[in-house]
Amino acid sequence: MQALILEQQDGKTISSVQTVEDSRLPEGDVTIDIDWSSLNYKDALAITGKGKIIRNFPMVPGIDFSGHVRASEDPRFHAGQQVLLTGWGVGENHWGGLAGQARVKGDWLVAMPKGMDGRKAMIIGTAGFTAMLCVMALEEAGIRPESGEIVVTGASGGVGSTAVTLLHALGYQVAAVSGRESTHDYLRSIGAHRILGREEFAETRPLEKQVWAGAIDTVGDKVLAKVLAQMNYGGCVAACGLAGGFALPTTVMPFILRNVRLQGVDSVMTPASRRAQAWERLVRDLPESFYTQSATEISLEQAPEFAGKIMNNQFHGRALVKIA
């Protein structure tokens, strides 16, 4: 099989597409022929070596994939069945999706939901799945379209784009925060009703004028601090990312004076039942237009180039990787 292999040379991460014997696949009870994978922020960190995502080399990156079961020792899966996977440390500490095949635990797989196919599933990928979990978190906090405006940060990225699209489709008014003028038309086309520059989120006071009923934050640091200070009384922030940094320079004020909820969202260890629920919602709520407006299809060979673009904030939407 062909695989993107990451190796270390003089402390640097080197990536190359290589032909690999499938006998080198890691242990697992289901072997999958991969059709599609995608590039997420974490993949970009791993492939470029800019983040300490991978500790054991050589490693096949790719934190998500879709494909067909080749062989299974798990009774829940049979040869030919379509499956998808996101998270569980695959592509971090277990060979991942940027390869012709993968071998994983059956527990990590999701049977392809009705109404979904492998290509669409990886246009969504980890990023879109996480956006859905964030939307569900806002709903569970009682935030409805009539509650007020929702702000999405890092809006032109993978999580951000899917969040904007989903919220707009569900009838919410969505404000997008972006660091790039070049993506404004794109953000409007997927449903942002207004766009704010990232620079407006550089400084904050502990409390500011109340603006947002809800927020989906993919950026962290000062941007998240500003969003918290601008939340309406009783609002909720679903925080899933750190594209701007892992710090959180805030105070307790929004929490104790405005009853604001900060809900963390993790997609890696999400239990199976909630995964199934999120994928069902994606089938139902994500408009067909998303798959054309937000996807760029690339080859396995192009993955390192596009990982560089993601790290340099020169890519928007989702990078779908064609494997088969």
Ligand X SMILES: NC(=O)c1ccc[n+]([C@@H]2O[C@H](COP(=O)([O-])OP(=O)(O)OC[C@H]3O[C@@H](n4cnc5c(N)ncnc54)[C@H](OP(=O)(O)O)[C@@H]3O)[C@@H](O)[C@H]2O)c1
* Binding footprint of ligand X on the chain (CB under 6 A): 40-42, 126-127, 130, 154-160, 178-180, 183, 198, 218-219, 223, 240-244, 265-268, 310, 313
Q: Toward ligand X, which CB reaches closer, 4 or 39? A: 39
DSSP state of 59: B
Unique residue bearing structure tokens 């925080």: 239
The residue among 69 and 303 lying less far from ligand X, judged by its C-beta, is: 303
Report whether 154 contacts 160 (CB < 8 A).
yes
C-beta of 208: minimal distance to ligand X in Å? 19
Q: What's the rounded Cα separation, in Å, for the pair 84 and 101?
A: 13
> C-beta of 40: minimal distance to ligand X in Å?
4
Report the Cα 294 to chain-centroid distance in Å: 13
Residue nearest ligand X, CB atom distance: 157
CB of 22 to ligand X, least distance (A): 29
Question: Do 239 and 137 touch, CB atoms closer than 8 A?
Answer: no
Residue 162 Cβ, how far from ligand X at the closest point, in Å?
Answer: 8
Beta bridge mates, 9: 12
- Specify the residue, 67 or 128, whose C-beta has the smaller distance to ligand X: 128
Cβ proximity to ligand X: between 60 and 265 the closer is: 265
Judge whether 318 and 128 are in contact, CB under 8 Å.
yes
**Which CB, 116 or 243, lies closer to ligand X?**
243
Q: Nearest approach, Cβ of 146 to ligand X (angstroms)?
A: 27
Give 20 or 223: the residue with its C-beta nearer to ligand X. 223
Which lies closer to ligand X via its Cβ, residue 110 or residue 265? 265
Bridge partners of 38, per DSSP, are 320
Cβ-proximal residues to 107 (8 Å cutoff; 6+ apart), any chain: 272
Count of beta carbons in the 10 Å neighbourhood of residue 78: 11
CB of 91 to ligand X, least distance (A): 12
Identity of the amino acid at 73: E
Placement of tokens 């940094």 in the chain: 245
Residue 315 CA to residue 226 CA, distance in Å, equals: 25
Tell the smallest beta-carbon distance from residue 152 to ligand X (Å): 9
Q: Which structure tokens are listed for 73?
A: 């020792």
